[in-house]
Structure 1
Amino acid sequence: MRFWEKIRNGTLPITRSRGRFWDMHQYYCLFNATRVPEFPIDRIYRYFKTEARMQWADKSWNIIVCKDGQVLLQGDVGFFSCFLIFIKQSFRVNLVRFEGYGNDLARKLNLYMDTVVQIALQLAFLRTHGSFAPIYETASTRKFYHGRTETVRGCTHEMVAFGQAIIDGQSKEEQQQLFFAAYEAHNKLMDDCMDGRGIDRHLYGLRKTLENFRIRGSLNIETPEIFTDEAWKVSGGDGNYLLSTSFSGYMADDEVGFYGFVTAMRPDGYGTFYRIGRNSVQLVITDWCQSKSNLSAYGENIKWSLTKLGSLFTYRAKL
């Protein structure tokens, strides 16, 4: 089919943006011959790397229809008030699918599966690198007018105690008790952030306000020590989270659905987007090449961690 001729001479509705007509070049990628690989990880790799050479990456939004009817939405997240990151050859991505259990079991045991996954991610990093990591999880503040997100800093004292108990091989009863302490601590943090009691957006606002005052020359205040202290960056400040994570929704009947991903904030860290199904968890993990990170080990340890956690809360159910 002569798609360009149909687009140019067809009856597409007139679309405006801020009073200006859209250029027809914005429809360029609507018709595409992208091949559909057999395996999901190959599919992600082609969509965002090798086959991405056919897309105009400077466009805010690309819609790609593949030969089998699958649709790829490729967007510049900077357009949506988030971060813009260029994907280069140093970037790696992998798909992890855990099928041991999912939301059905969690609901039966009165557990929130997202918190279980968050604890598993931290445990996986600990098992991979032998240390704990500052972790970022997105919390929604949509209950507020113009609310967007807040940061859940999930590396709590309770999480450290639980992780250490796993590494030290403490008794199952002790591990179970510490797991639920970490679980409750994380849920409390999430509730606080969703209710507007987080700290990151508040501190960011204060910092940007000071910068604006300096630019205008109306006020000259030294940068507060909290932003210059070494602990600020070690704990994840200024985009230094070793684990950048986000829960991107549920999978009805464990269907494959869409694949979303986030790049690692640091060269030695990981990005992790995940979806939760009834009996599975699907994760897309990323890192940067030639760094301290180990993507394959991290992925395997995520599955190990979820299995380990499952043994703890199912053990509790038997008591």
Structure 2
Amino acid sequence: MVPAYLGYFIFAQSQRIGSMRKDQVPDRHVPEPEELVFTIDDEIRDAIIHTEETFIKQASDLELICPSFTDYGKKFIRSFQLHPDSYMQTALQLAYFRLHGKPCPAFESATLRQYYHGRTDFVRACNMEVVNWCKAMVDKTVPDEEKKDLLMAALKKHIQLMQEAKNMLGCDRHLFGLQVLAQDAGIHVPSIFRDVAYIKSGGGGDYVLNTSLLGYTQGPPGARAPRVHQGYSIFYKIQPDRLTYTVSSWKSCKETSAEKMSASIQQSLRDMRQLVMTS
């Protein structure tokens, strides 16, 4: 959340100050910067060069876009007494399902700030309720009333999972901690961590969809690279009249496209609006 609040502060300050000429900038008596000279050996110098080369290589492979969906925002979603974050998460699931023809393991961060030194846990946003709804949405024989009922069930399930994660009832951080303890102690890593089902479901952090709500404030959302080569990373902000988000994917992966995923997200949001307005 620190980058989110930092971005919001910069945006709010720029809105407050507006455009200023150089002679209008207040004198804050900031001291001149001083160069810090680091003493490094050849090993560190080689590591820095290697890190720079790796960064440039990965950065050039990253496709990153930051569009806005301006048809509606939090105000419209709330008018139907729906939770905006759960609404956006179901839209992301439908967007991926339509684009790739299958569901995928999805991660959303849940804050544990109600606990002392609390950080985050995982919400497994892909579940049977949302998959059933996605299947219905691409099936033209399913009536709108049934699609709406399935959507409400998916939204309810997401809220339940989020509350459980916020109340320390998630499983991912706990399992990750046990895995690290086993590795540090030289203990044979339990078979669950090598199980195909565990890995394909996102175990160990290998989620195809890496997502995070960065609040309901103005300003651009943050971004990061996908967790896996065939995945996406989607960070978003939900504002009163719009939804602003970033989508990233790897250019070297022929299966994914940030642009196509974004278009699928916006189509899903439009279809959901029509669905919730169904009497």
Query: What interval of TM-score do these two structures reach, taking the shorter chain for normalisation?
Result: 0.7 to 0.9
- Please identify runs of 4+ aligned residues in structure 1 that moved more than 6 A: none
Question: Secondary structure of 1:139's partner?
Answer: strand
Question: What residue in structure 1 maps to residue 59 of structure 2?
Answer: 88
Per the alignment, residue 208 of structure 1 pairs with: 180
Instruction: Give the RMSD, CA atoms, in angstroms.
Output: 2.2
Offset, 1:258: 3.0
Cα distance per residue 1:143-200 (max 9 Å; x no partner):
0111000000011010110000011121101100100111100100000000000001
Q: Please give the secondary structure, in 2, of the residue aligned with 1:201.
A: helix
For the structure 1 residues 89 and 196, does the alpha-carbon distance in structure 2 shift closer, same or farther, using more than 3 Å as the test? same
Q: Which residue of 2 aligns with 1:242?
A: 208
Corresponding residue SS for 2:235: strand
- For 1:227, the equivalent position in structure 2 comes to 193
The letter for the 1-side match of 2:264 is N
Report the counterpart of residue 275 of structure 1 in structure 2: 237
In the alignment, is residue 309 of structure 1 matched against residue 275 of structure 2? no
Alignment partner, residue 295 of structure 1: 258
Aligned to 2:150: 178
- Distance in 1 of aligned mates of 2:183 and 2:80: 49
Q: Distance in 2 between matches of 1:210 and 1:289?
A: 36
Q: Comparing both chains, which one has the higher relative contact order based on Cα–Cα distances under 8 Å and sequence gaps of 6 or more?
A: 2
Matched residues in 2 for 1:269 and 1:244: separation? 8
> Structure 2 matches for 1:12-161, cutoff 5 A?
12=31, 24-25=34-35, 87-161=58-132
| Distance in structure 1 (CA, Å) of the matches to 2:160 and 2:67 | 28
**Alignment partner, residue 64 of structure 1:** none
**How many equivalent pairs are there?**
234
Match of 1:199 in 2: 171
Between structures 1 and 2, the one with greater strand share: 1
Tell me, yes or no, if structure 1 residue 285 matches structure 2 residue 273: no
How big is each residue's C-alpha offset from its partner over 1:106-127, in whole Å with a ceiling of 9 and x where there is no partner? Answer: 2221111111110001110111
Q: Report the alpha carbon displacement of residue 11 of structure 1 after superposing the two structures with TM.
A: 5.5
Q: Is the 8 A contact 2:250 2:256 kept in 1?
A: yes
Q: Which amino acid aligns with 1:286?
A: S
Distance 1:11 1:182, change over 3 A: closer
> Following the alignment from structure 2 to structure 1, what is the Cα–Cα distance between the partners of residues 261 and 30?
51
Change (3 A) 1:249 1:25: farther
Matched residue, 2:222:
260
CA distance in 2, matches of 1:11, 1:135: 46
Conserved? CA contact 2:220–2:244, under 8 Å: no
Rate the CA distance shift 1:11–1:102 in 2: closer, same or farther, 3 A.
closer
Distance in 1 (alpha carbons) for counterparts of 2:119 and 2:178: 17
Q: Judge conservation of contact 2:183–2:189 (CA < 8 Å) in 1.
A: no
Partner of 2:13: none
Alpha-carbon distance between aligned partners in 1 of 2:193 and 2:221, rounded to the nearest angstrom: 35
Give distance in 2, aligned partners of 1:232 and 1:272: 23
- Using the size of structure 1 for normalisation, the TM-score is 0.69
Shift of 1:105: 1.4
**TM-score w.r.t. structure 2 length?**
0.79
Change (3 A) 1:267 1:166: same
Q: Identity of counterpart residues, as a percentage?
A: 31
For 2:271, give the aligned amino acid: K
SS, match of residue 282 in structure 1: strand
Q: Which has the higher helix share?
A: 2
Q: Hey, what's the Cα distance between the residues in 1 that align with 2:235 and 2:87?
A: 14
| Per-residue CA distance 1:258-314 (angstroms, 9 max, x = gap) | 341121111111010101111110111000012111221111000000111111112
Q: Determine the C-alpha separation between the residues in 2 that align with 1:11 and 1:207.
A: 48
SS in 2 for 1:303: helix
